[in-house]
């Protein structure tokens, strides 16, 4: 079960299509009447092609991806890019500005240096020093897009990483595929990013579980009902290294040139587009409890923060998740 999941919600049971992409699993649970075998096969093929295209464009792990090609390009050299990737880059830069750099797509070198990228599986002190030597001032401003011409260029030696937004975008694109195939009710999932379309097979909102932020077990913290809305969760409890007693999380804070290190265990965000929920969940996790809550209020986000404090989870919810703070004991 990923950080946000439909799996514990038994009432959502229906026809499910699934496959592998981006080193994880995608799934679509259909709430409509059962399809003919040929229709289901056609839909599955279209969904698989959709996510494969996005992976081919935006994967930092594939040397022949469009993202890798942009990262290898010389500073100030224009690089032709597909429209889908340019749309993701444009939204990534917009949320980077709105979050004052808490979300920053130019963290690629830091991700690699700290052992979470394609070339290293442990932190490399020399690479960390090199990544920190790059000017930290608004690195996202070093990327220029020319949407009309379908191209982009870097104004500094930055490395782009879209892992904080590309999966959410893939969910949105799968939702578009479903619409083209006449599907009116479905739950789309890719890792911890989901989008609910219409209602489940019983005509009720889709029940989606939010995971408890515990690194050593899978447990449900709570369930959210969704209809025509997306949800994403970002946390520090699934991908990390231990350095002595210190946990080094995979999410990077470009402003500090270091992994996230604050009391926030996870942040869950609701939005119309899963791409937005994905990026904002990352931004609020990086920003931390005070700055993150201020950002969520400023941008009127539906957000749920789970904060570690004295062996308890402090729950802080805004808008859909409620204004009151509660505490719960981790099991």
- Tell me, yes or no, whether 291 lies in a domain: yes
Query: Over the Cα atoms of the chain, what is R_g?
Result: 19
Residues 6+ apart with CB under 8 A from 138: 101
Domain hosting residue 272, numbered range: 4-30+179-328
Predicted local distance difference test score (pLDDT) of residue 217: 73
How do strand 325-328 and strand 252-253 relate by DSSP bridges? unpaired
- Tell me, yes or no, whether 279 lies in a domain: yes
Residue with the bigger pLDDT between 195 and 130: it is 195
- Tell me, yes or no, whether 86 lies in a domain: no
- Tell me, yes or no, whether 104 lies in a domain: no
Question: What angle do the packed helices 274-287 and 289-298 form, to 10 degrees?
Answer: 140
Instruction: Give per-residue pLDDT as tens, 181-206.
Output: 999 999 999 988 999 999 999 999 99
Predicted local distance difference test score (pLDDT) of residue 212: 81
Largest CA distance in the chain: 58
Predicted local distance difference test score (pLDDT) of residue 9: 47
- Tell me, yes or no, whether 66 lies in a domain: no
- Tell me, yes or no, whether 171 lies in a domain: no
Q: Is-contact 254 245, C-beta < 8 A?
A: no
**CATH code (residue 193):** 3.10.520.10
How do strand 24-30 and strand 186-190 relate by DSSP bridges? antiparallel
Instruction: Give per-residue pLDDT as tens, 107-121.
Output: 999 999 888 877 777
Instruction: Give per-residue pLDDT as tens, 216-259.
Output: 777 788 899 999 999 999 987 665 655 666 666 778 888 888 88
Whose tokens are 């959210």? That residue is 224
Q: Is 144 left (phi over 0), alpha (psi -120 to 50) or beta?
A: beta
Nearest-5° angle of CA 278, CA 45, CA 52? Answer: 45
């Amino acid at each position: 079960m990923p950080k946000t999941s439909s799996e514990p919600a038994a009432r959502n049971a229906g026809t499910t299509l699934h496959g592998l992409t981006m080193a994880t699993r995608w799934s679509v649970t259909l709430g409509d009447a059962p399809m003919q075998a040929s229709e289901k096969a056609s839909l599955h093929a279209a969904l698989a092609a959709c996510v494969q295209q996005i992976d081919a464009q935006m994967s930092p792990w594939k040397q022949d991806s469009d993202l890798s090609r942009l990262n290898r390009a010389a500073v100030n050299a224009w690089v032709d890019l597909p429209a889908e990737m340019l749309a993701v880059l444009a939204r990534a830069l917009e949320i980077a500005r709105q979050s004052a750099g808490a979300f920053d797509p130019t963290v690629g070198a830091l991700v690699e240096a700290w052992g979470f990228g394609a070339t290293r599986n442990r932190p490399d002190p020399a690479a960390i020093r090199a990544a920190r030597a790059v000017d930290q001032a608004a690195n996202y401003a070093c990327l220029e897009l020319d949407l009309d011409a379908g191209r982009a260029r870097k104004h500094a030696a930055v490395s782009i990483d879209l892992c904080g937004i590309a999966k959410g975008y893939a969910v949105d694109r799968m939702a578009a595929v479903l619409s083209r195939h006449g599907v009116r009710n479905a739950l789309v999932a890719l890792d911890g990013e989901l989008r609910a379309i219409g209602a489940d097979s019983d005509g009720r909102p889709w029940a989606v579980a939010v995971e408890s932020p515990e690194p050593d077990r899978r447990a449900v913290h709570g369930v959210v009902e969704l209809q025509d809305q997306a949800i994403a969760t970002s946390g520090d409890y699934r991908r990390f290294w231990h350095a002595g007693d210190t946990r080094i999380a995979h999410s990077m804070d470009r402003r500090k040139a270091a992994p996230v290190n604050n009391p926030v265990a996870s942040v869950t965000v609701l939005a119309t587009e899963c791409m937005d929920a994905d990026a904002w969940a990352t931004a609020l996790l990086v920003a931390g409890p005070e700055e993150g809550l201020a950002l969520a209020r400023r941008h009127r986000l539906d957000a749920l923060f789970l904060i570690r404090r004295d062996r308890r989870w402090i729950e802080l919810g805004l808008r859909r998740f409620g204004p009151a703070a509660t505490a719960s004991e981790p099991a």
